[in-house]
Structure 1
């Protein structure tokens, strides 16, 4: 009795297995974009806090009234 066997082929699952191998590269990209966005948000929050603290330390300017002495000669010339 002779038993004929087909040549062995590599076992492959559905296309989802090959699709997951393709998506591994995108996971790193998405992760890096997410990390960059988070660092950006942290930087914005830190700069706002720093600017707020610097504004509180800045001396407040007070307007000073300056009166010019008015002489009759200046008024008469107009």
Structure 2
């Protein structure tokens, strides 16, 4: 019987497209949503995006896209 392969990393995957679009795969919960701040729970830690005119797009079960002008990114354990 063959062993089931487990991925080497099972955390969130974050993809930036310049400083105006980011896609987060592995989002568990939206903790904060304001025009200048978006905070997401991605399991072991939270991610906070700080910027201007931030909007949420393409929300699916675990994937979310944030658009706007990003100034800062914070990881909180």
Does the TM-score normalized on the shorter chain lie above 0.5? no
Larger strand proportion of the pair: 2
Q: TM-score range by the shorter chain?
A: under 0.3
Q: TM-score of the superposition, structure 1-length normalised?
A: 0.19
CA radius of gyration, larger in: 1
Larger helix proportion of the pair: 1
Q: Which has the higher contact order (CA 8 A, sep 6+)?
A: 2
Q: TM-score of the superposition, structure 2-length normalised?
A: 0.19
